[in-house]
Amino acid sequence: MNALCVTFICTAKFEESERNIPKLSELNRLGVPSSPYSARQYLTMELRLLQFFQWNVALPTAAHFLEYFLVAALTASDCFDGRSLGHQATEARSTLSKYVVYFLEISLQSLSLSLSLSLCACVFGCEM
């Protein structure tokens, strides 16, 4: 069970913000209570796990790039029907985001495009 906790902490360190990473005391409560790991043992097991996978623990998807493209995709100075979006930019960004995610899910079914090109096409298509 402690090995599972090591996997959990590695995943949390990669995906979560700093405040959401579990403390060792919390992990020891989840693991085998009769033989809790020390901080050193957790670090040793974490290092072994990363070495086993040769540090290849991330497989980026187009979703990882979504926020970067959406930031540049729509601004308050953009126009719709000849009028500036102004105060409706937040609502427009939310709608754009929903459509991009929808088209992205469809595009991921085809592996013929690179991830970044696929996402870029989705964002550009939704801007039209």
Asked if pLDDT for residue 128 goes beyond 60, the answer is no
Spatial distance between the Cα atoms of 49 and 45, rounded to a whole number of angstroms:
6
Alpha carbons 29 and 5: distance in angstroms, whole number? 10
- pTM comes to 0.46
Tens digit of pLDDT for each residue in 107-120?
767 666 666 666 66
Average pLDDT value for residue range 14-34: 75
Taking the CB of residue 119, how many other CB atoms lie within 10 A of it? 25
What pLDDT does 57 receive? 78
Residue extents of the structural domains in the chain: 2-52, 62-127
Summarize the confidence of residues 78-96 as an average pLDDT.
78
